[in-house]
A and B are shown apart, each in its own frame.
Chain A
Amino acid sequence: MNKFVKNFMFSVVAIFLISSSANAFKLGMAVGGHPCCDWMKSQGDVARAIAEKKGWEYLELNNEGDSATAVKNAQIFVQEGVDAVIQFNAQPGANPAIQQILGAAGIPVVTYDIAEEGMYFVGIDNLGAGIAGGEGLGKLVKEKWNCEPDLVVSAEGAAAGIVNTWRTGGMRTGLGNICPDIPAEKYVSFESNGDAAAGLAPARDLLAANPDAVRIAVVGLNDGGVLALVNAAEQLGRADEVMAWGQDGAFITGDNVNPRLVGSVFYFLEGYAVYAIRDVIDGIAAGNPPPVKWEADDPASQVKPCPATAAEAQLVPLEAERVAQLLAAPIGTTAYDLFCVN
């Protein structure tokens, strides 16, 4: 093939690409923005990678855990002419305003984990995940302590809003499903901020206020929160019979897992984009939007939680490795398919 033909073919391909990119589908993503969690950043990374594979344009903004910023980001999405938005909005109070703004511009919205009328719901049933975790812990409490713990501690994270109520409340419910006779006064809670370091001092204070408790079952908003209590118990010399079951699986993988963390519930939050894109965005991009299912119990795409004991969790790779494997797998494979050992 001589140079002339090669150049000609190159130009044809280039012209085709340029003209098609003018009409390329543009995906906007607003990530959560809390410094706490790896997965918030990874949600954006995975969405970006999939969008690139599909040849879409991609705009990522950061909600910074702040409602005013989330509203501003919605306005920017409208201005930048995105065709669909995925958001993780930690402050759901702003969602009605966001839905107004994006809805008026005709831009469909996928929202993660916290339902809002008019927005496609993609995510976990946090309440169900909580219950699953609570039941997992309940089985151990029944087996080891005959359903008689001295204390059931909830590590709250009020900043997470309704998600906190669902997860910690769900876990208490789940525990109560297996061990219904635990008296109400054994249920106590402390504010952990969902962070093992920040929650350490309040956890110590709570343990000091319950000095006789030896068999302590711990539930909470996330792994970080329950670990705050575990580490506090270790400091106070009372960790021998502490059993903690977390949520989100952030600190139960790898080789530095605290032995008192007996289980967690993986959501594989980093991989939510696979669900959102497969079940909602693909349809929108093809001009065939699916019906708007906005309720958590009738979602546009249901992410299944993956409860796991510590032993089972050892088979799950670390978050960074999971993201890499997820992106290497064929589009549409979910993290649940790849990693859930149940």
Chain B
Amino acid sequence: MRLEHAIKPESSMSTLLWLRFRAFSAPIFLLTVWLLLIIATAIYRPDFISYQTLLAVVFTMSIVGVMAIGQALVTISGGFLDLSQPSCLIFASFVSVKLSEAGMPFIIVILAAIITGLFVGAINALIIVLARLNPIIVTLATNFIGLAVLYLMFRAAEVPIGSEIHTFGRAYFLGLPATWWPMLILIFIVGLLIHQTRYGRQTIAVGGNRYAAQTRGISLKKTRFLIFSIAGGFVGFAAILFCSASGPFNSASANILQLNVIAAVILAGISLEGGRGHLWMLFLSVGLLSTVPTSLVFFGLSSDAQAIFQGLILVIAVTFDAYRSRKVTL
């Protein structure tokens, strides 16, 4: 889009429309792919469109969605990636199990899980902010250490059957799983807050151009400390969703989630460089990524072949997105 075009009066209307379209092109892209996938599967097997399929996809969305919020917050603020989510999740799950076994009320369990997540996030935050180290490396190291500590602490844990958290994992609200609604609400609230609150905008500013942010008087250290801790808090909440239905889990049970969460953040157009992105897009990317495995099962693909498709989809999606945004240079 060159300056000359923007000035031409006769195309100003189409320019405006084009700009509007461009702003929405990423979500339209995701939505289109998602719909195409659903349609293709439905053509192959019409019973794909069913309540059970919806439930299966929606349940998968819940955990990944909440974790993706935490990850997206870190990424938007210029923290690149938080690789310590698996260990944070298991820590918080472990705490939840212990408290549930002790008969604590559900609300206490939830709070404890969130606080555990905040605590783990704060540890990451302290190291990153005080030692001024790259978050990817720090979280890689803390995850490594965290998983080892978890392994030494316990082998397998499970929430007590019949406890409130156990029931929560299987409950429904308005026809959809009870674990999904918090994810939905959180994505949209956080997506809104981050652009509407001063702290949210400060976070994005820090991610976008930290020098400019500093000049404006924003404390990088405080912003980063808060955002890493808060991201941990979201993982702590995700732990409730995780252990509410998972049955017995061990220290390595959450490792496979990490790849899906990172893929969801990237597909949502939240650039790893920071400062850009809309959190509510996570709803679309998490939805798409949760539908893919289910579709592949309907297509009758073995789990080995599914992995190939999931990997290819990520590569193609990211490449296509890069190609698109390069073609339409503003």
Minimal beta-carbon separation of A324 from chain B (angstroms): 15
Return the chain A residue nearest B243 by Cβ: A197
Contact between chains at A256 and B59 (CB < 8 Å):
no
Contact between chains at B52 and A235 (CB < 8 Å):
no
Give the residues in chain A near B158, CB-CB below 8 Å: 251, 256
CA distance A208 to B54 in the complex (A): 8
Contact between chains at A227 and B47 (CB < 8 Å):
no
Q: Which of chain B's residues 201-215 have a Cβ closer than 8 Å to chain A?
A: none
Contact between chains at A208 and B55 (CB < 8 Å):
yes
Give the residues in chain A near B256, CB-CB below 8 Å: 193, 198
Contact between chains at A198 and B253 (CB < 8 Å):
yes
- Say if the beta carbon of B161 comes within 8 Å of chain A: yes
Contact between chains at B250 and A208 (CB < 8 Å):
no
CA distance A334 to B53 in the complex (A): 48
Among B50, B247, B251, B253, point to the contact of A208 (Cβ < 8 A): B50
Among B53, B161, B177, point to the contact of A258 (Cβ < 8 A): B161
CA distance A21 to B255 in the complex (A): 45
Contact between chains at B161 and A211 (CB < 8 Å):
no
Among A37, A191, A196, A209, point to the contact of B303 (Cβ < 8 A): A191
Return the chain A residue nearest B169 by Cβ: A235
Contact between chains at A258 and B50 (CB < 8 Å):
no
- Say if the beta carbon of B12 comes within 8 Å of chain A: no
**Binary flags per residue of A200-233, CB closer than 8 Å to B gives 1, else 0:** 1110111111010000000000011001101100
Return the chain A residue nearest B249 by Cβ: A197
Give the residues in chain B near A198, CB-CB below 8 Å: 253, 256
Minimal beta-carbon separation of B153 from chain A (angstroms): 11
Contact between chains at A201 and B293 (CB < 8 Å):
yes
CA distance A201 to B260 in the complex (A): 12
CA distance A200 to B245 in the complex (A): 8
Return the chain B residue nearest A208 by Cβ: B56
Minimal beta-carbon separation of B25 from chain A (angstroms): 30
Among A36, A190, A200, A204, point to the contact of B250 (Cβ < 8 A): A36
- Say if the beta carbon of A330 comes within 8 Å of chain B: no
Give the residues in chain B near A206, CB-CB below 8 Å: 297
Return the chain A residue nearest B247 by Cβ: A196
Known contacts A38-B155, A202-B303, A211-B50: A231-B245 contact under CB 8 Å? yes
Contact between chains at B248 and A227 (CB < 8 Å):
yes
- Of A156, A201, A223, most buried by chain B (CB within 10 Å of CB) is A201
- Say if the beta carbon of A35 comes within 8 Å of chain B: yes
Among B45, B151, B242, B248, point to the contact of A35 (Cβ < 8 A): B151
Minimal beta-carbon separation of B164 from chain A (angstroms): 15
Contact between chains at B247 and A200 (CB < 8 Å):
yes
Known contacts A38-B155, A41-B155, A250-B156: A208-B246 contact under CB 8 Å? no
- Say if the beta carbon of A236 comes within 8 Å of chain B: yes
Q: Which of chain B's residues 130-171 have a Cβ closer than 8 Å to chain A?
A: 147, 151, 155-156, 158, 160-161, 169-170
Give the residues in chain B near A195, CB-CB below 8 Å: 249-250, 252-253
Return the chain B residue nearest A261 by Cβ: B247
Contact between chains at B60 and A35 (CB < 8 Å):
no
**Binary flags per residue of A8-30, CB closer than 8 Å to B gives 1, else 0:** 00000000000000000000000
Minimal beta-carbon separation of B102 from chain A (angstroms): 14
Contact between chains at B242 and A205 (CB < 8 Å):
no
Give the residues in chain A near B177, CB-CB below 8 Å: 235
Give the residues in chain A near B248, CB-CB below 8 Å: 196-197, 223-224, 227, 250-251
Minimal beta-carbon separation of A195 from chain B (angstroms): 6
- Say if the beta carbon of B298 comes within 8 Å of chain A: yes
CA distance A16 to B293 in the complex (A): 67
Among A37, A193, A209, A234, point to the contact of B298 (Cβ < 8 A): A209
Minimal beta-carbon separation of B32 from chain A (angstroms): 23
Known contacts A35-B151, A36-B250, A195-B253: A234-B170 contact under CB 8 Å? yes
Give the residues in chain A near B294, CB-CB below 8 Å: 204-205, 208-209
Contact between chains at A202 and B242 (CB < 8 Å):
no
Give the residues in chain A near B317, CB-CB below 8 Å: none
Among B45, B47, B161, B242, point to the contact of A197 (Cβ < 8 A): B242
Minimal beta-carbon separation of A304 from chain B (angstroms): 25
Contact between chains at A208 and B249 (CB < 8 Å):
no
CA distance A34 to B47 in the complex (A): 39
Return the chain B residue nearest A203 by Cβ: B56
CA distance A196 to B249 in the complex (A): 7
CA distance A31 to B170 in the complex (A): 37
- Say if the beta carbon of B254 comes within 8 Å of chain A: yes
CA distance A269 to B229 in the complex (A): 42
Return the chain B residue nearest A193 by Cβ: B256
Contact between chains at B56 and A234 (CB < 8 Å):
no
Contact between chains at B155 and A231 (CB < 8 Å):
no
Contact between chains at B52 and A234 (CB < 8 Å):
no
Give the residues in chain A near B56, CB-CB below 8 Å: 201, 204-205, 207-208, 236
CA distance A156 to B303 in the complex (A): 10
CA distance A228 to B303 in the complex (A): 16
**Binary flags per residue of A241-261, CB closer than 8 Å to B gives 1, else 0:** 000000000110000111100
| A–B pairs, 11, beta carbons within 8 Å | A35-B151, A37-B250, A197-B242, A197-B250, A200-B246, A208-B52, A208-B55, A208-B294, A223-B248, A235-B169, A236-B52
